[in-house]
């Protein structure tokens, strides 16, 4: 675990970025969420921000390594532990992203004992005269986390392999549209079904992570073989 973290930090390309990635950015965004009163509308401002930051980090940190071109880091590839080292860096990045999202989105929920829809105090949302949503369960935030991370993993994988700036931007925008469209869905789910929905979302996220991890490791193994000849 310690070695995975040390190795992960060496993969971050600047001296300042590890501090920004691991410490500053999660803390600043979490404080922003807390100090805004734990209102859900801030969560929806934070969500696109986290999405864009994570995609930017993916491009900065791993684009060259995970691109379609066979960039081979000979020192790592000559070690018997090379593949394992690369895999542990990938896992560390995935775990870092999950923990960051957990901290950013769950801290306000825990702080305020639940989330509010907006405005001052608790607001009840009425649809057709019927009370639709009163207080928002933190489980809704868990759904948002898994949805956000799933889209980040998918879009992140694609943009690292695309060379065209226009296509990168297109992929990122499509991901953002999907997130926005999903945005309020968790809050329409009846309370009794929320735990099951969270479990399903977690499983989908895990499946996406496993598939992407396997795809990237397969691509890394292929670097031992030339595309020519």
Partner 1 sequence: MDTTSVIEVNNLSKKFKGFELAIDELNIPEGFATALIGENGAGKSTFINILAGIRRDYEGEVKFYDGSLGEKELRESIGYTGTDCYFLPHWTVGDVETVSGILFDSFHDDRYRKLCDDMNITERNKAFSKLSDGMKMKTILSAVFARDTKLLLLDEPASPLDPLMRDKLCGMIREYIDEGNGEKSVLFSTHNIADMENVTDYAVIIEQGRVVEQGFVEDLKEKYVMVKGELGEGHTDVRSIAEQTLHGCTFSQYGFEGLCQADSIERFAEMDIAVETPTLSQICVGVMKKYTVLR
Q: Which residues bind partner 1 (CB under 8 A)?
A: 3, 6-7, 10-11, 13-14, 71-82, 85, 224-226, 228-229
Show the tokens assigned to 44: 């929806």
In angstroms, give the least distance from the CB of 9 to partner 1.
8
Closer by beta carbon to partner 1, 3 or else 124: 3
Cα distances (Å, whole numbers) of residue 211 to 68, 179, 216: 17, 20, 9
Measured CA to CA, the distance from residue 54 to residue 165 in angstroms comes to 17
Strand pairing report for 125-127 and 130-133: antiparallel
DSSP 115-157: BB-SSSS---EEETTEEEESSBPHHHHHHHHHHHHHHHHHHHH
Closer by beta carbon to partner 1, 13 or else 188: 13
In angstroms, give the least distance from the CB of 46 to partner 1.
29
In angstroms, give the least distance from the CB of 85 to partner 1.
6
Closer by beta carbon to partner 1, 10 or else 120: 10
In angstroms, give the least distance from the CB of 223 to partner 1.
8
Closer by beta carbon to partner 1, 63 or else 117: 63
Closer by beta carbon to partner 1, 6 or else 68: 6
Q: Comparing C-alpha atoms, which of 207, 111, 187, 93 is closest to residue 142?
A: 187
Cα distances (Å, whole numbers) of residue 12 to 19, 20, 154, 221: 10, 11, 21, 22
Closer by beta carbon to partner 1, 86 or else 105: 86
What angle, 0 to 180 degrees and rounded to 10, lies between the N-to-C axes of helices 165-182 and 40-66? 150
Closer by beta carbon to partner 1, 71 or else 206: 71
In angstroms, give the least distance from the CB of 61 to partner 1.
10
In angstroms, give the least distance from the CB of 76 to partner 1.
7
> Could you give the angle at the alpha carbon of 7 between the alpha carbons of 94 and 52, nearest 5°?
35
Q: Which residue has the tokens 């970025």?
A: 17
In angstroms, give the least distance from the CB of 162 to partner 1.
21
């Amino acid at each position: 675990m310690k070695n995975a973290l040390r190795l992960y930090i060496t993969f971050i390309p600047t001296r300042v970025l590890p501090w920004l990635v691991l410490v500053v950015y999660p803390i600043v965004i979490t404080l922003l969420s807390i100090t805004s009163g734990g209102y859900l509308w801030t969560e929806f401002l934070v969500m696109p921000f986290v999405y864009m930051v994570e995609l930017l980090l993916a491009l900065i940190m791993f684009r060259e390594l995970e691109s379609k071109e066979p960039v081979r880091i000979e020192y790592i590839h000559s070690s018997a532990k090379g593949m394992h080292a690369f895999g542990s860096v990938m896992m560390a990045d995935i775990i870092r992203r999950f923990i960051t999202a957990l901290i950013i989105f769950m801290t306000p929920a825990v702080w305020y004992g639940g989330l509010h829809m907006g405005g001052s105090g608790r607001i009840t949302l009425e649809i057709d005269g019927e009370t639709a949503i009163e207080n928002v369960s933190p489980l809704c935030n868990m759904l948002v986390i898994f949805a956000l991370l799933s889209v980040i993993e998918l879009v992140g994988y694609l943009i690292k392999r695309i060379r065209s700036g226009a296509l990168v931007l297109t992929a990122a925008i499509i991901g953002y549209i999907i997130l926005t469209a999903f945005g309020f869905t968790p809050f329409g789910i009846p309370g009794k079904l929320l735990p099951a929905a969270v479990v399903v979302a977690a499983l989908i996220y895990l499946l996406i992570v496993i598939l992407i991890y396997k795809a990237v490791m397969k691509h890394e193994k292929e670097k031992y073989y030339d595309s020519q000849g």
